Amino acid sequence: MQNPEAILAAAKSGSVPATWRVLRPKGSYPAGAGCGGAFVGFFILFLGIIVSFFIRVISEATSHSTDGFNASDPGAFFTSFLPVSLPVLIGGGVGLIVVVGLLNAMRAISRIPYSYFVFTPEGAVQATGPKKITAIDYGAIDLINTRISVTTTTNQNSSSTTVSVWGELHYVDGRTVRFRPASRFGSAESIIQRLINGHREYKAMVGPQRPPRPAY
């Protein structure tokens, strides 16, 4: 297989052989990264409020005192544990979410010039940053499998399902490596399937070098 750095240099120049396929980040990548960052900011803020609330409840239950709030007024109790007034908290929270989302989007934009996924007849190279490069050499691999994990979380009134997809690379030296394509290049299923097809074509081209391992 060629040097990964040479493959990336060729992809960046735009002068690649017809047998190569170059993937670039999707147009929605920065927006998706920004939304992901905003969600993380919201989750951290929400978690902080919940923790503060329970600390306040435990403190009041331990002291057996109602000083500082009217037990008949839930709203007064709710605001009593907040470090600032509710309008300030809402405004600051929205500002934090927006800032985190924008920073994440800007970070994603800064990574676009270094983001390439290149398929060649001998393997593939994924670059997600100046120094974050993953090379897949078909000649060193015995088998590639697709692995899918489905996780369902059920609450009282709703349920959510998370699907995780990755490639399982079985090397001829006995190693097994989990490879998860960066989502910025598209569907993990399609990328892994392309790797599987490319590996089969490579094996057919060079001929069997050792008895293949059974798929499982």
| Residue the block writes with tokens 């970070």 | 107
Q: What is the pLDDT of residue 51?
A: 66
* Amino acid occupying residue 207: G
Q: Which own/partner contact pairs does 8-13 have at CB distance under 8 Å and 24+ positions apart?
A: 8/116, 8/118, 8/125, 8/127, 8/133, 11/116, 11/118, 12/116
Class level of CATH domain 4-25+115-206: mainly beta
pLDDT surpassing 50 at residue 216:
no
Q: Has residue 124 got a pLDDT over 70?
A: yes
With a cut of 60, say whether residue 70 has pLDDT above it: no
One DSSP character per residue, the chain reads: ---HHHHHHHHHHT---TT-EEE---TTHHHHHHHHHHHHHHHHHHHHHHHHHHHHHHHHHHHT--TTS-TT-HHHHHHHT-SS-HHHHHHHHHHHHHHHHHHHHHHHHHHGGG-EEEEETTEEEEESSSS-EEEEEGGGEEEEEEEEEEEEEE-SS-EEEEEEEEEEEEETTS-EEEE---GGGS-HHHHHHHHHHHHHHHHHHH--SSPPPPP-
Summarised one tens digit per residue, pLDDT across range 12-37 is: 998 899 999 999 887 555 656 656 66
More confident position, 39 or 171: 171
* Whole-model pTM over 0.75: no
Q: What residues does each domain of the chain span?
A: 4-25+115-206, 30-111
| Mean of the per-residue pLDDT values of the chain | 77
Q: 33 versus 44: which is more confidently predicted?
A: 44
Q: What is the mean pLDDT of residues 100-122?
A: 78
Q: Which pLDDT belongs to residue 66?
A: 47
Q: Is the pLDDT of residue 211 over 60?
A: no
Q: Which residue has the higher pLDDT, 214 or 8?
A: 8
For residue 71, is pLDDT > 50? no
| CB proximity list for 13: less than 8 A, separation 6 or greater | none
What local confidence, expressed as pLDDT, does residue 5 receive? 92
Q: Please determine, for residue 82, whether its predicted confidence score (pLDDT) is greater than 50.
A: yes
Average the pLDDT over 184-188 and give the result: 90
pLDDT in tens, 139-168: 999 999 999 998 887 776 777 788 889 999
111 vs 84, more confident? 111
Name the band, by pLDDT with cuts 50, 70 and 90, for residue 117: very high
Q: What residues pair up with 153 in beta bridges, in sequence order?
A: 160
Query: Are the beta carbons of 139 and 202 closer than 8 angstroms?
Result: yes
